[in-house]
Amino acid sequence: MTLFYPRDTAEANKLLGEHLKNNKLPYGSIMDLYSTVLDMTYFDYYLCLGRERDLGDIDVQFVSRNQIKELFFSFSFDGKYYFIFPKEKYESYDFGEIPQKLEGTKAVVFPRNGTASNTNILILPVTTKIGNTKNTNTFAYINLKGSEEKYLERTKLITTGALTSVYRNLYSNQKKDSVDINDLNKILFDSYEDQIDSLSLEKSEHVPPFVFSLKFNKKQSNLITSLNDSLKTLPLSKIISHRLVNSYQEEDEDKRLPVSFAYTDNIKYYLVFDKDVRIFHKETDDVLFENDFGIYELKINQLNPHTVYIYSKLILNKSNLNLSDHSPLFELCGKVKSLQNKNLSFKILK
């Protein structure tokens, strides 16, 4: 791989023209292509050597080849560093995005025309729980009038920040690999059980905060349990579905449950019945639980005789990749899991 070699603009333009004309890459690597384009901008730019956070910091006193796991570029403008990550087959990041695996890590950088004596150390930015969000809004239409109960969900999922990086890459990869739509549950939503009827990309913004939005419909069956003709139950596990908590198992508390970055996960879920109902949720009264790692909040309200509103919010205050004590995270996940295992009871009013 050749990097940072001088080229005159005419030669660079010629090579780029050949690429566009023949749909072929005229360089030894994608890094060469990026460096040539950056040459043409006349910016003073830098090559960055990075290492994933869970592997530990690069030894900046002696940077050996086996320490380097990531290569990317940066440039400085108005006293601020900006980062560019060359696109890979299964990972792509917009200008201004930082891969979550590199957040807060040290990078060794050296200038295009510099030498080893010109190297510098940068700390990559860290996103926050305010900037990293996932909002899931679902209307579930429940038909109780027919001989067979029907349950149809219409959902809109909106992410920002590092969560957009995760979901956008997952969505893009399934499109590249022609994954069947019903396998998307495991890829995107960590569930094999439900069947997606339709999935569409609504928005994908390429500037901060990188709003990404999907819409999808799901049909569910055998979800409601009848205790008698009028009294029914519905498992909250189908409504409160925080992906991290879904991965948690009490017997695995001696293992690491990785949280790569801080974030906020909001679920707004509306149950819309075709009959008048009254809910009983003594087991699931409003909950607010907080510890050193995060916050969990649950609210259940009946808005009118036909509609029940459920709000579930999970806030993770930090990453645990470099922590030795994982008990606060397990405590938080255990609390949410115990609520997921409860039922929402309701009575059909005659």
Model pLDDT for residues 39-70, shown as the tens digit of each residue? 777 778 888 889 988 888 888 777 777 888 88
133-348: what CATH class? mainly beta
pLDDT of residue 3: 41
Q: What span, in angstroms and rounded, lies between the C-alpha atoms of 252 and 6?
A: 54
Residue 84: is its pLDDT beyond 60? yes
- The answer to whether 104 and 260 are in contact (CB under 8 A) is no
Q: What span, in angstroms and rounded, lies between the C-alpha atoms of 152 and 154?
A: 7
**238, 190, 188, 192: which is closest to 213 by C-alpha?**
188
The DSSP output letter for 154 is E
Q: Would you give the distance in Å from CA 261 to the centre of its chain?
A: 10
pLDDT in tens, 159-191: 999 999 988 988 887 766 665 666 666 666 665
- The answer to whether 92 and 172 are in contact (CB under 8 A) is yes
Who wins on pLDDT, 116 or 331? 331
Residue 329: is its pLDDT beyond 50? yes
Who wins on pLDDT, 337 or 173? 337
Who wins on pLDDT, 9 or 136? 136
User: For residue 1, what are its two tokens?
Assistant: 């791989």
User: For residue 285, what are its two tokens?
Assistant: 């009264």
Domain boundaries in the chain? 9-123, 133-348
Kindly give, in sequence order, each residue whose CB lies less than 8 Å from that of residue 74, ignoring residues fewer than 6 positions away: 45, 46, 48, 81, 82, 83, 84, 107, 109, 122
Report the amino acid identity of residue 76: S
